[in-house]
């Protein structure tokens, strides 16, 4: 779970790749750097993340069986909601 600002959106094949500036990591099981790519396994803009917006994102690390692909994946069971200052207080 981390707070991030969407910098760019790009369609790559059947997936959507968001470039995200990681502002505050709240809970993480894998290391995050200040800029990450977050992948969504569809092209329908679901969840609808707009460029320049700040969101609270719950994503997973996805590593394939050959261990040649390591990325952050925002799946259907994850969530992305607009970030509010209330999140810092919690």
pTM above 0.85, yes or no: no
Residue 53's contacts (CB-CB under 8 Å, 6 or more residues apart) are 5, 6, 82
Amino acid 51: pLDDT: 92
Amino acid 77: pLDDT: 76
Q: Which two tokens stand for residue 60?
A: 């997973």
**Omega within 30 of 0 (cis) for the link into 85:** no
> How is domain 2-87 classified at the CATH fold level?
OB fold (Dihydrolipoamide Acetyltransferase, E2P) (2.40.50)
Show me where the domains of the chain are located: 2-87
CA-based torsion, 37, 22, 59, 72: positive or negative: positive
Q: What is the mean pLDDT of the chain?
A: 84
Q: What is the mean pLDDT of residues 6-21?
A: 92
């Amino acid at each position: 779970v981390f707070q991030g600002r969407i910098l760019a959106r790009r369609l790559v094949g059947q997936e959507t790749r968001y470039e995200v500036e990681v502002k505050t990591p709240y809970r993480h099981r894998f290391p995050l750097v200040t800029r990450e790519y977050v992948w969504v396994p569809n092209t329908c803009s679901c969840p609808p993340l707009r460029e320049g917006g700040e969101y609270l994102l719950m994503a997973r690390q996805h590593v394939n069986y050959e261990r040649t692909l390591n990325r952050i994946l925002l799946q259907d069971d994850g969530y992305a909601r607009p970030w509010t200052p209330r999140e810092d207080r919690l």
